[in-house]
Amino acid sequence: MYLSLTSIVFTAERTKDGEVFEIVEYLDRNRDFLESYVIDSIPLNELERWLVKKTTRNIILCESVCDSRTLERCDNKGNQTKKQIFMDLVNSLREDTNEHSILWKLVRCISSSIFADAYRVFKIFPDQSNFVQYFITETNEELLNPTRLIQANSKQVILVLEAAKRGAPWCISRDNHPVNFPETPHSLLKVFGVDIEKDANYILYQPILTATGKTAYVIEMWRVDNIFTDKDEEISSNFLVWGSLALHYCNLYLDKKRERCMSDFLLDVVKAIFEEMVSLDQLIKRILEFAQRLVNADRASLFLVDYRNFELVSTVFDLKFEPGQSRDMEKKDIRMPINRGIAGHVALSGETMNIPDAYSDYRFNREVDEATGYKTISILCMPIKVQGKVIGVVQMVNKRNHDNFDHDDEVAFEIFSTFFGLALHHARLYDRIMRKEQKYRVALEVLSYHNTCRENEVQAIFQDNRALNTNFNDFYLDPYRLSEFEKCKAVITMFDDLFDLSKFDVMTVIRFVLTVKKNYRRVPYHNFDHGWSVAHAMYVILKNDQAKRFDYKMRLALFVACLCHDLDHRGYTNKYMSETASPLAAMYTTSTLEHHHFNITVTILQQDGHNIFSLLTSAEYKEILGLIRHCILATDLAAFFPNLEKLKEIHEGDPKHYRFNWSTPSHRDLAMAISMTAADLSASAKPWNIQIKTVKVIFKEFYDQGDKERAAGRTPIPMMDRNKPNEQPASQVGFLSQICIPCYNMLHRMLPNTKPLYIMALKNLNKWKTKADRILKKQSKNLEEEINQLDIKEVTTDSVTEECNETEESTDEELQEHDFIEPVVSDESESVDDKTSKQGALEEKSSCIEKAWTNVKLDTVSWEETEEVEEKSSCHGIWKNIGEIWVDEDNIISRPINSVKVITNIDDETID
């Protein structure tokens, strides 16, 4: 390998030393001697240093136009030379798309074209007016491809900033700017092989502008002896036009590449978010690792904003990165005021801060560095926002390549911060949900312990062999006669009668019934007594359905749904739950309590030893649960009216097309729903003495809700206002006439043997109307007295009294007529014509009772005050003994047997 003597010749020309010329001439003639001398006498490290220096000189002086002959060619063939240089830059772009590499090649071309002795490049930060960096070129390696940037001295960059502001080439000399002219960079001149004993007196500043017109870099080119001319400025500007274009396309390419990398990067982030969603701390750590990789940061910190205490809270305070090693997360519980430090400023302002020199910013807290010994240089601090609100602050510290965070880092991290914010927000929500779920499980465990029956109770039921001397196949059975223990045994008895207990696990059924009883709250009305009464009513309905219109699974669902239909009832209406913003109302927008009752039913079934359907297949179990849900939701009176209208359309439509058909699933669903409503309202179809007791506890529950509404500043409706007890008869008339009578009328048309429910509901309606009429008479009398006192005119209540008496008499006659009306069902054995002929009268009588009834303003006298008087004045000595059945004058059965018979007041005809 031979060394070129160009550098020696260049030096000889400068020194004009004759001895050097002789040595050069000798060595040129004796290359073998030179080679032998270099190989034998020159150390390898010295030889490598010469090679690097020679390579650098070749790039600077030989690859570009580097002598006077080249300049002459530039005059004659300048365009071709510039084209060649531009093509070299384009080829360099193909090989290397790094902005700094392209920039440095451009700088070498410009400086060598105008014979600059040395040069350096400054990086300008438009957002930091006094912050300037320059590339370090202290060695030959760094001269070829500088990678390090350090901050320039403020005095050193006065003229650099002025040139950046001008945005055009600017020549200066030490004579013209003696005050601000920078000191000669002797170390830089030494790298370029220039005599360091002399001062460099001339500088040419060449700004490099971005596409937006802002100065991104400034080239500082030095000469020791020769002044820069206008020709030098022109050559520099011409080269820069081509070079800036290459640099622009390089940036475009890099931008597209960044976008592609960012897309892949964000895809990885999203995958990580879903993988680490189970742990908030692990998710934060993973996202911070991605953020570090994105901006090439050495340290990362996260602060969450605690607006309640006006503090910043660190969950991951310091995430370190060491190449080749695993990440080390140091979790500390650190709190600091939100108005302190750079992170606090970002949290309050919501603006990104890119600080290249942390110690020059007054907001920087040096205490952490002093305590840890870590040197903070640059900081990129960005807010994490969700719906415009800052929920956290991420702080990146020190780039690992000794560079500073630039605008590209800000843009990339701003895009990333959107995903970071969403991930952090949803991770916190998920974390809260998980914590709530754990609390829910603990609470469920506690509740299941306290709300589950005890084994000694199960054994007591199982071992009790005493028979219940009660006929349960009786619509008019008095539920108040049985104790809770007897009612639980009665449920087992009815369950066995309907579904054959041998097909189930007996202990499981007993345990289920007892736990259901325990999960009814001790409210005045919607308690276990009510649940048992509804289940008993359904038992009688199903027991008397001789045709078994409902299949086995439907009957099972109906009975279980009735038993569980009001589990955990709070004694308040759905409307009240919604108005008071109850958590249940937030969970279910419609049929709030009914959905809750079903969920409690499922919860009980899921407890160990309580699944009475465990012997069924999975498909059968799922089907029965669906039927139970349908039945329980049907007990919401809001669903009753649409169901009733649908049934009316079916019954009143064209018999050829719209007749009720038990084989149609939708028709059966409606029949199940109306049966549930009928069982739920069965208290209104009990004999008068039983219904009176039930009405009292119903209104006790109503009044409790009314008291809470009044305490909350709302006015309760009259029916729930304990200050208006005389509203009870009128409300019962409306309830029976508008809901109960239409329900039982429709039910007995589909299930003929449910007629006793319809009859007793009509009798009770007549009783309530009588009481309401009595209050109306008293109100009319009081009104008459007030009018007489005012001497306005004389008013009598004879007409009112007579009208009321006529109404009561006509109602009794209508009720007697109802006893002879048979129901109409499509699948009965009798012909359609025979059944159709018996339909109309019953519906007409029902509508007569409902018509012309208006609410009246009652006085403060309670109907209950007349109850004792009425009972004393009633004739209890008139009884009829009909086949071991005692019936009073109102046809209320006192001692029913299996075959229930009702004796009318018109004649002695008996109706089954």
For residue 876, the model assigns a pLDDT of 37
Tell me the pTM: 0.53
CB neighbours of residue 299 within 10 Å: 19
pLDDT per residue as tens digits for the range 207-239: 988 777 788 889 999 988 888 988 888 888 877
Sign of CA dihedral 487, 764, 900, 745: negative
Listed range (26-30, 54-58, 498-502, 906-910) with the worst mean pLDDT = 906-910
Q: How far apart are CA 368 and CA 744, in angstroms?
A: 81
Q: How far is CA 527 from CA 73, 158, 571, 740, 795, in A?
A: 109, 89, 9, 21, 49
For residue 285, the model assigns a pLDDT of 77
Question: Burial letters for 675-712: b for 16+ Cβ neighbours within 10 Å, e otherwise?
Answer: bbbbbbbbbbbbbeebbeebbebbbebbbbbbebbeee
Q: How far apart are CA 900 and CA 883, in angstroms?
A: 10
Is the pLDDT at 252 greater than 70, yes or no? yes
Is the pLDDT at 468 greater than 50, yes or no? yes
Is the pLDDT at 651 greater than 50, yes or no? yes
For residue 634, the model assigns a pLDDT of 96
Ligand-binding site membership of 528 (annotated): yes
pLDDT per residue as tens digits for the range 44-85: 767 766 765 565 544 444 344 333 333 333 444 444 455 565
Q: How far apart are CA 649 and CA 660, in angstroms?
A: 10
Ligand-binding site membership of 177 (annotated): no
Helix (H), strand (E), coil (C) string for 737-786? HHHHHHHHHHHHHHCHHHHHHHHHHHHHHHHHHHHHHHHHHHHHHHHHHH
For residue 862, the model assigns a pLDDT of 45
pLDDT tier, 671 (very low <50, low <70, confident <90, very high otherwise): very high
Q: How far apart are CA 753 and CA 750, in angstroms?
A: 9
Q: Which residue has the higher pLDDT, 691 or 90?
A: 691
Listed range (420-434, 492-506, 513-527, 679-693) with the worst mean pLDDT = 420-434
Q: Which one-letter DSSP state was computed for residue 228? A: P
pLDDT per residue as tens digits for the range 173-201: 888 877 778 888 888 888 887 776 778 88
Report, as an integer, the average pLDDT of 343-366.
86
pLDDT tier, 883 (very low <50, low <70, confident <90, very high otherwise): very low
Report, as an integer, the average pLDDT of 362-388.
82
Is the pLDDT at 799 greater than 50, yes or no? no
CB neighbours of residue 464 within 10 Å: 12
pLDDT tier, 584 (very low <50, low <70, confident <90, very high otherwise): confident
Q: Which residues contact 746 (CB under 8 A, 6 or more apart)?
A: 644, 647, 648, 651, 674
Ligand-binding site membership of 680 (annotated): yes
Q: Which residue has the higher pLDDT, 520 or 276?
A: 520
How far is Cα of residue 783 from the mean position of the Cα atoms in its chain? 61
For residue 761, the model assigns a pLDDT of 95
Residue recorded with tokens 């279910």? 588
Residues 343 and 335 sit within 8 Å (Cβ to Cβ): no
Sign of CA dihedral 846, 851, 854, 860: negative
Q: Pick from 233, 238, 243: which is nearest to 116 by CA?
A: 233
Strands (E), 107-214: 118-124, 132-135, 149-151, 170-173, 202-209
Q: Pick from 600, 532, 609: which is nearest to 568 by CA?
A: 600
Ligand-binding site membership of 565 (annotated): yes
Q: Which one-letter DSSP state was computed for residue 500? A: -
Q: Which one-letter DSSP state was computed for residue 614? A: T
Torsion (CA) 283, 286, 292, 293 in degrees, nearest 10: -140
Residue recorded with tokens 């007016």? 129
Q: How far apart are CA 40 and CA 35, in angstroms?
A: 9
For residue 340, the model assigns a pLDDT of 80
Residues 709 and 580 sit within 8 Å (Cβ to Cβ): no
Q: How far apart are CA 416 and CA 294, in angstroms?
A: 9
Token pair of 834, please?
Answer: 């025979």
pLDDT per residue as tens digits for the range 265-315: 777 767 766 666 656 677 777 777 777 877 888 888 888 888 888 888 876
Token pair of 736, please?
Answer: 């029976």
Half-sphere exposure for 146 (CA within 13 Å, toward CB): 24
pLDDT tier, 316 (very low <50, low <70, confident <90, very high otherwise): low
Q: How far is CA 491 from CA 59, 149, 565, 815, in A?
A: 103, 88, 15, 34
- Rounded to 5°, the CA angle 157-158-163 comes to 90
Q: Pick from 51, 72, 70: which is nearest to 7 by CA?
A: 51
* Overall residue count recorded for the chain in this entry: 912
Is the pLDDT at 328 greater than 70, yes or no? no
Query: Which residues are bridge partners to 47 per DSSP?
Result: none
Q: Which residue has the higher pLDDT, 18 or 901?
A: 18
Q: How far apart are CA 86 and CA 59, in angstroms?
A: 16
Q: Pick from 184, 256, 252: which is nearest to 220 by CA?
A: 184
Q: How far apart are CA 596 and CA 587, in angstroms?
A: 9
Token pair of 830, please?
Answer: 């009798």
Listed range (13-22, 70-79, 511-520, 571-580) with the worst mean pLDDT = 70-79
Q: Which one-letter DSSP state was computed for residue 893? A: B
For residue 442, the model assigns a pLDDT of 79
- Rounded to 5°, the CA angle 728-731-736 comes to 120
Strands 311-320 and 334-337: antiparallel
Q: How far is CA 881 from CA 884, 887, 897, in A?
A: 6, 7, 13
Q: Which one-letter DSSP state was computed for residue 544? A: T
Q: How far apart are CA 236 and CA 111, in angstroms?
A: 8
Question: Burial letters for 627-662: b for 16+ Cβ neighbours within 10 Å, e otherwise?
Answer: bbbbbbbbbbeebbeebbebbeebbeeeeeeeebeb
Ligand-binding site membership of 140 (annotated): no
Report, as an integer, the average pLDDT of 441-462.
84
Ligand-binding site membership of 891 (annotated): no
Is the pLDDT at 900 greater than 60, yes or no? no
Query: Catalytic: 818?
Result: no
Is the pLDDT at 31 greater than 90, yes or no? no
Report, as an integer, the average pLDDT of 774-801.
64
Ligand-binding site membership of 732 (annotated): yes
Residues 57 and 193 sit within 8 Å (Cβ to Cβ): yes
Q: How far apart are CA 710 and CA 724, in angstroms?
A: 13
Q: How far is CA 662 from CA 114, 665, 751, in A?
A: 104, 7, 11
For residue 808, the model assigns a pLDDT of 44
Residues 38 and 3 sit within 8 Å (Cβ to Cβ): yes
Q: Is residue 218 classed as helix, strand or coil in its secondary structure?
A: strand
Helix (H), strand (E), coil (C) string for 662-712? CCCHHHHHHHHHHHHHHHHCHHHHCCHHHHHHHHHHHHHHHHHHHHHHHHC
Active-site choice (177, 526, 536, 630): 526
Q: Is residue 417 classed as helix, strand or coil in its secondary structure?
A: helix
Q: How far apart are CA 593 and CA 586, in angstroms?
A: 11
For residue 889, the model assigns a pLDDT of 35
Listed range (440-444, 446-450, 814-818) with the worst mean pLDDT = 814-818
Average per-residue pLDDT for the chain: 76
Q: How far is CA 396 from CA 326, 343, 348, 529, in A?
A: 19, 11, 18, 67
List the alpha helices (DSSP H) in 168-229: 186-191
Type and span of the H or E element at 340: none
Report, as an integer, the average pLDDT of 531-545.
96
Is the pLDDT at 722 greater than 80, yes or no? yes
Q: Which one-letter DSSP state was computed for residue 58? A: I
For residue 472, the model assigns a pLDDT of 94
